Amino acid sequence: MTANELDTPYYVFYANEFIDNYRDLENSMKAVYPNYQIAYSFKTNYTPAVCSLVKNLGGYGVCTCFENRVYSKPYRIQWSW
């Protein structure tokens, strides 16, 4: 498929690369912080397929810093990207 065959705007998402990057980040952080868990910012990309993928990988979504504090345990270090 070429760009001329697609209606614009359109969004291309490489799920396999996202999964690889997610797992690399998670494994690297867990090597130092065993209780690390990824918190995904829904404001960054609220595409349902991406949010579902994060959930299936074991992460969770937040929309605000307040939600991150509410849903996280005090001993966890979390990044919202």
pLDDT band at 73 (very low <50, low <70, confident <90, very high): low
Over residues 8-37, mean pLDDT = 89
- pLDDT of 36 over the 90 cut: no
Over residues 31-45, mean pLDDT = 82
- Output phi, psi for 61, to 5 deg: -105, 145
